[in-house]
Structure 1
Amino acid sequence: MSDIRLPVILMLEYDPDDRFITSTVFEEQQYQVHLEFVNNSKGLFGYLDQCRLSNLPYPAVIVINLNITPVDGREVLKQLKANADYLHLPVVILSDAKDPKLARECYALGASSFIQKPDALTGTNEKIRNFFRYWFETVVLS
């Protein structure tokens, strides 16, 4: 039996309810990925540094909640895209905001995608299903 590692989605999400909903949907859908959560930017960069220093695979996709504190998602995105070691990693920004200027700003900073969080659980299921299809069945990840 071969040692097959599942692709990792590294999610910067501090809200325990959002973490629970996201992991529940992934488990129910039986997606063949490993969902790894970090609470803050220090945890995110610690995880990535561990991958780099230990020669472990980087996450397939990084998902960042825009409204994290004390450093917001835009600043984390800037830091990621300023580091040559992490420049290749796709970064998806999640936000409650419905401001198109915010999405444009995140794209200008290097975001691969900008997703508005849905208001209802049914919308959450559909968004996660579309997210998974796009990132793991449609695009080519390194």
Structure 2
Amino acid sequence: MTLQPLDTIEILLIEDSPSDAHLTIKSFEQAKIANSLHWVEDGETAMEYLRQEGEYANEVRPDLIVLDLNLPGMDGREVLAEIKADPDLKRIPVVVLTTSNSEEDILRSYNLNANCYVTKPFDVRQFMQVVQLIGNFWLAAVKLPPT
């Protein structure tokens, strides 16, 4: 069964690793998922982007956030907590995509209302497949809330 993606979806990728970010972007492109993907490398910048502050004042709010937990400075756990505590941001689905397989991180992420938690595979091909599955599910199967 092939799912048909919705109209263009705004995605915010919060990832400090350039190689993981480029692989994620490439995976979405190869899956032919219609989207507009924006990438930021740290938690502080992510919150500026989401709150449309400073240089991000004219950015469109994302329909989906893909979040790494292990970020420099404000880490992904803090970003997730701030997003889900903000009445203007809390309905944006957050997919945690991280190297951590820690039960503590998984439990904490769900307690902070992450919408799903995915551990990054170390194999490049598997990583790309996981990202494509995320895209197909969140962008073609799920009805996202209006922004």
TM-score tier, shorter chain, comes to 0.7 to 0.9
For 1:38, the equivalent position in structure 2 comes to 40
Which of 118, 125, 131 is matched with 2:134 structurally?
A: 131
What amino acid sits opposite 1:32 in the alignment? A
Tell me the distance in 2 between the aligned counterparts of 1:85 and 1:136: 21
> CA separation of 1:70/1:57 partners in 2, compared to 1, >3 Å: closer, same or farther?
closer
Q: Does 1 or 2 have the higher relative contact order (CA < 8 Å, sep 6+)?
A: 2
Tell me the distance in 1 between the aligned counterparts of 2:101 and 2:131: 18
- SS of the residue corresponding to residue 88 of structure 1 reads coil
Amino-acid identity (%): 28
Deviations 1:43-73 (A, max 9, x none): 212222229965x642111111100011111
Tell me the distance in 1 between the aligned counterparts of 2:89 and 2:20: 25
For 2:113, the equivalent position in structure 1 comes to 110
In structure 1, runs of 5+ residues without a counterpart are none
For 1:15, the equivalent position in structure 2 comes to 17
In structure 2, runs of 5+ residues without a counterpart are 1-6
- SS of the residue corresponding to residue 131 of structure 2 reads helix
Tell me the distance in 2 between the aligned counterparts of 1:130 and 1:112: 15
What amino acid sits opposite 1:47 in the alignment? Y
Say if 2:88 is the partner of 1:85: yes
Tell me the distance in 1 between the aligned counterparts of 2:82 and 2:72: 15
For 1:58, the equivalent position in structure 2 comes to 61
- SS of the residue corresponding to residue 117 of structure 2 reads strand
- SS of the residue corresponding to residue 50 of structure 1 reads coil
What amino acid sits opposite 1:8 in the alignment? E
Tell me the distance in 2 between the aligned counterparts of 1:84 and 1:130: 29
Q: Once superposed, what is the RMSD of the aligned Cα atoms?
A: 2.0
For 2:4, the equivalent position in structure 1 comes to none
TM-score where L is the length of structure 1: 0.87
Tell me the distance in 1 between the aligned counterparts of 2:27 and 2:135: 11
For this pair of structures, how many residues does the alignment match?
137
Instruction: Map residues 24-35 of structure 1 onto 2, 5 A cutoff.
Output: 24-35=26-37
8 Å contact 2:33–2:136 — kept in the other structure?
A: no
Tell me the distance in 2 between the aligned counterparts of 1:17 and 1:27: 15
